[in-house]
Amino acid sequence: MGYRTQLTNPGADRGYDIFASPDGLGLQEPRIFVEVKHHTAPIGAPAIRSFLGARRPGERGLYVSTGGFTREAHYEAERSQIPIHLVNMQKLRHLLLEHYDQLDTASRALVPLQRLYWPIRP
């Protein structure tokens, strides 16, 4: 999507998160911090508040959860002074398909897809 990304060091949960910016160094805006969680249960408001609490003015957030988000988590995101976008599994799948052609080779190797053409009856 036109951003350069880098993985951050593993956090307390031993997970890797992502930092993205146009230049990859954070010198150009927007600076986007991404939290990624692979859970079956939805993420709640406390996790969103914690993530937002670490953000500074001018930064943006992206929170990805394969388990989705609770209604309260959506409320926290909507009322936040820091712009944040919540991405559930359905939205992640849509973004992956929409931008698959722009992915680098290593990313495509993680999710190998093949385009399938199907004839349409006139």
Q: Per mean pLDDT, which range of 19-28, 50-59, 64-73 is the poorest?
A: 19-28
Question: To which H or E segment does residue 3 belong?
Answer: none
Q: Which residues pair with 61 in a beta bridge?
A: 33, 84
pLDDT in tens, 6-54: 888 776 765 568 888 988 787 778 899 999 998 899 999 999 999 999 8
pTM: 0.84
Q: Which amino acid is at 98?
A: E
Tokens of 48: 């969103």
Please name the CATH architecture into which domain 4-110 falls: 3-Layer(aba) Sandwich (3.40)
- What are the extents of the domains in the chain? 4-110
